[in-house]
Structure 1
Amino acid sequence: MGILSSLAKLFSSDSNSNSAPSADPVEYNGFFITPTPQPDQGQYRICAQITKGEGESQKVHQFIRSDLVANRDECVELTVRKAKLTIDQLGEQIF
């Protein structure tokens, strides 16, 4: 069966296999949250890049959660809510 599933993957037309396009950044308390929902088994995983600052002083945190959401737009909305909560809880310690 391993060979058949490998062949099926070669011929599948799943254009979202690598990543979905990121959503517009959201500014929150001096941080920027850029949702980057990741396709996973027909759903989307909560994922974002949280940044603060500019240029060489810019700090970046890759925010990934185990939650899966069926709809990309709902995933973006939930990602922003969870990222804001994390920023409220950790602040600068997120980096």
Structure 2
Amino acid sequence: MGLFSRLFGGNKSDKAKVEVEPIEYKGFLIYQEAIEESGQYRIAGRIEKEIDGELKTHRFIRSDVLSSCSDADEFMLKKAQMFIDQMNEQIFD
């Protein structure tokens, strides 16, 4: 049964969702979540902050793609920090 399942797409192994550890920056939490696309990685992630008891989230996706996941995550971190510096809590408006 296992052979036929693999051949015909049954029991596909879904990519396990990896729990991303956030990086705290000036009270914001930055989650680096590069998106794999055709062997490259799109710079993506999210920025979160609890404001007045409500968790606010800003999804961050750029058009840039890089050859390694770690490079995409590092670039995302730098861009997110710059965005926070420029916009502060207005990110969520």
Task: State the TM-score bracket (shorter-chain normalisation).
Answer: 0.7 to 0.9
The alignment-based identity, stated in percent, is 38
CA distances 1:7-64 after superposition (whole Å, capped 9, x unpaired): xxx98xxx89x79745421000000000111011210001111100179511111011
TM-score by length of 1: 0.73
User: Residue in 2 aligned with 1:82?
Assistant: 79
Q: Paired residues, what number? A: 82
User: Residue in 2 aligned with 1:42?
Assistant: 39
Considering only aligned residues, what root-mean-square deviation do their CA atoms show, in Å?
2.6
Unpaired stretches in structure 1, ≥5 consecutive residues: 1-9
Taking a change above 3 Å as real, the CA distance of residues 68 and 46 of structure 1, as seen in their structure-2 partners, is: same
Whole-angstrom distance in 1 between the partners of 2:70 and 2:50:
27
TM-score by length of 2: 0.74
Whole-angstrom distance in 2 between the partners of 1:19 and 1:45:
19
Unpaired stretches in structure 2, ≥5 consecutive residues: 1-7
Matched, 1:64 2:33: no
From 24, 27, 46, the equivalent of 1:27 is: 24
Would you tell me which structure has more helix in proportion to its own residues?
A: 1
Instruction: Please identify runs of 4+ aligned residues in structure 1 that moved more than 4 A.
Output: none
Would you tell me which structure has more strand in proportion to its own residues?
A: 2
Amino acid at match of 2:71: E
